[in-house]
Amino acid sequence: MRRSVLKAWGIFAGVAVSLTALTLDRTLAAAEGFPFDQEMLLDARPMPGSKRVPSLDIRADGAVLIDLWCNSVQGQLVVAADTITVMTGPATERSCPPERLRGDEAVLSALQQVTNWRREGDALLLIGPQSLRFYRATN
């Protein structure tokens, strides 16, 4: 009896893994043109006294490291066709001037509210109440 239960769980796990892989393949295919495995820089000038500009380091699986004006946040991008959802974790807690912290909050809030994306040449446009334009990092 125990072997049959273990065998059933093994079959279930195999089917679940196969379905997950199939779903991931379809999601990635539907998101054709999305810049997975790239670092993207926000189309903005550095704040006074800094060289830093917010960036997205996007992994193939949608995991993303979001470097803001001051802090960083790890997150996950869920991309299907032209739709995108940005989920974020807690931010680091670096000591920064108030204007950079306010900038962090503004960029993070805008990212969490995006609903769609599109490519415009080399740029990635994240569309929401406040759209954000990112360019591929060239370093």
Query: For residue range 23-46, what is the model confidence (pLDDT) as tens digits?
Result: 444 444 447 889 999 999 999 999
Looking up tokens 């997150």, which residue turns up?
75
Given pLDDT bands bounded at 50, 70 and 90, which one contains residue 72? very high
pLDDT of 130 strictly over 80:
yes
Q: Flag the least confident range among 5-9, 99-103, 110-114, 125-129.
A: 5-9
Average pLDDT, the chain: 84
Are 55 and 46 spatial neighbours (Cβ–Cβ below 8 Å)?
A: no
Q: Mean pLDDT, to the nearest integer, of 121-133?
A: 95
Q: What is the pLDDT of residue 76?
A: 97
Separation CA 53–CA 66 (nearest Å): 11
Q: What is the pLDDT of residue 105?
A: 96
Q: What is the pLDDT of residue 3?
A: 54
Separation CA 93–CA 101 (nearest Å): 10
Separation CA 114–CA 98 (nearest Å): 25
pTM of the model: 0.76
How many helices (H) and strands (E) would you count in the chain?
2, 8
